[in-house]
């Protein structure tokens, strides 16, 4: 962040002595659209959070609806469905984080060893592509691929005599599918940051290690991995804030009533029960719970990242 450096004349005086340029009114004008839009579309809805403490009825509005205090939250933690949904969210998010990090890191390490340039370039071209496709498109593709009767994956498994698997209809397989497809979509793109860190390692370290007779495995273990630790720590701590974000887009485009038991997450629940079901107050309460936990984790994550790795966003 830029600090204000007082000029010679104002040293020793109060900071309100800054004399701004005559045309600084233009700056306020340029800032206005962004501030107004943020005020309207982010801050005004924050005010709507009072709904979480009301029994909101659309015809009574926010001012006229009955105040119920923490009843919605009590209900949230007593209603079996919503408790289940919170656990589902945590489970899916943690599994994604765990397998995602391992896959991304391993891919980056192996990619770093590729010497042939054309392999490097063509592999990168293909593995980055899924990141840019939307879950609507990918949902369509996976529903086609994973179809128990005609899908390519089950036809392939059939060659080995494996019975068709209901990837999107069985609760446990759905978990596998959600984690697997997310890792598939993001491992390539996620590896960019690790590859950049790998490119920054001093080659002299490897030369010295080779002279000392260290093999590839020892070099990876003693040079490459330790050099990546800061990047890994930053990525992990920053994704802490994501543990209540299990991926609305993905799940909404893949799930169906058969897998609500393990596949329903907070965001899909809010959408279905709150918005479509018209339980505005209850939906807002769950959303608020998620936002607050998310906020605590983001702030905690940034602090941790700053402490451990000196990472600062501003």
Instruction: Using CB under 8 A, pick the residue from 75, 99, 166, 173 that binds other proteins.
Output: 166
The answer to the question of residue 171 lying near other proteins (CB under 8 A) is no
* 13 near other proteins (CB under 8 A): no
Q: Which residues of 154-185 are buried (b: 16+ CB within 10 A; e: fewer)?
A: beeeeeeeeebbbbbebeebbbebbbbbbbeb
Least separation in angstroms between CB 218 and other proteins: 13
Q: Does 160 bind other proteins (CB under 8 A)?
A: no
The owner of tokens 């899916």 is: 92
CB 192, min distance to other proteins, A:
6
The number of CA neighbours under 13 Å toward the Cβ of 1 is 5
Q: Is 11 in the site for other proteins (CB under 8 A)?
A: no
Nearer to other proteins, 134 or 202 (CB): 134
Q: Does residue 45 touch other proteins according to CB under 8 A?
A: yes
Radius of gyration in angstroms for the set of CA atoms belonging to the chain, rounded to a whole number: 26
Which residue lies nearer to other proteins by CB, 95 or 259?
Answer: 259
Cα-based distances in Å from 217 to 200, 210, 220, 222, 223: 19, 11, 5, 9, 10
Q: How far is the CB of 302 from other proteins (least distance, A)?
A: 9
Q: Residue 278: left if φ>0, alpha if ψ -120 to 50, beta else—which one?
A: left
Widest pairwise Cα distance in the chain = 86
**Pick from 86, 95, 108, 146: which binds other proteins (CB under 8 A)?**
146
176 part of the interface to other proteins, by CB under 8 A: no
20 near other proteins, rule: CB under 8 A: yes
Interaction of residue 83 with other proteins, rule CB under 8 A: no
Helix (H) or strand (E) holding 67: strand 66-67
| Distance in Å, CB of 115 to other proteins, minimum | 6
Please tell me whether residue 64 binds other proteins under the rule CB under 8 A: no
Contact 261, 253 (CB under 8 A): no
Residue nearer to other proteins on the CB measure, 119 or 208? 119
Sign of the Cα torsion 177, 178, 179, 181 reads: positive
Chain positions 226 to 285 lying near other proteins, rule: CB under 8 A, are 248-249, 252-253, 256-258, 267, 270-271, 274-275, 280, 283-284
Angle at 175 between CA 145 and CA 250, to 5 degrees: 65
**Residue 174 makes contact with other proteins by CB under 8 A:** no
Under rule CB under 8 A, residue 4 binds other proteins: yes
Q: How far apart are the first and last CA of the chain?
A: 6
Closer to other proteins at the Cβ: 17 or 66? 17
């Amino acid at each position: 962040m830029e600090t204000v450096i007082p000029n010679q004349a104002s040293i020793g005086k109060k900071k309100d002595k800054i004399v701004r340029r005559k045309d600084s009114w233009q700056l306020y004008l340029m800032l206005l659209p962004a501030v107004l839009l943020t005020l309207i579309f982010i801050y005004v809805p924050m005010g709507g959070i009072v709904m979480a403490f009301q029994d909101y009825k659309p015809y009574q509005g926010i001012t006229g609806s009955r105040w119920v205090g923490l009843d919605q939250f009590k209900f949230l933690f007593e209603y079996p469905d919503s408790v289940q949904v919170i656990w589902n969210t945590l489970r899916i998010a943690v599994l994604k984080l765990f397998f995602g990090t391992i896959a991304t890191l391993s891919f980056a390490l192996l990619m770093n060893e590729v010497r042939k340039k054309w392999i490097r370039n063509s592999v990168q071209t293909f593995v980055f592509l899924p990141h840019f496709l939307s879950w609507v498109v990918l949902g369509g593709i996976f529903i086609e691929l994973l179809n128990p009767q005609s899908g390519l994956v089950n036809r392939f498994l059939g060659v080995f005599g494996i019975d068709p698997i209901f990837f999107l209809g069985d609760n446990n397989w759905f978990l596998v599918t959600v984690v697997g497809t997310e890792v598939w979509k993001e491992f390539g793109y996620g590896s960019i940051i690790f590859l950049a860190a790998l490119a920054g390692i001093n080659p002299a370290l490897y030369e010295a290690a080779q002279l000392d007779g260290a093999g590839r495995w020892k070099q990876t273990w003693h040079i490459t991995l330790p050099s990546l630790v800061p990047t890994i720590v930053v990525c992990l701590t920053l994704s802490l804030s994501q543990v209540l974000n299990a991926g609305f887009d993905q799940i909404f485009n893949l799930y169906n009533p058969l897998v609500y038991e393990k596949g329903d997450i907070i965001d899909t629940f809010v959408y279905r029960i709150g918005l479509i079901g018209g339980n505005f107050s209850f939906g807002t309460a769950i959303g608020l719970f998620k936002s607050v936990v998310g906020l605590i984790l983001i702030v905690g994550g940034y602090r941790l990242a700053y402490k451990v790795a000196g990472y600062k966003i501003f």
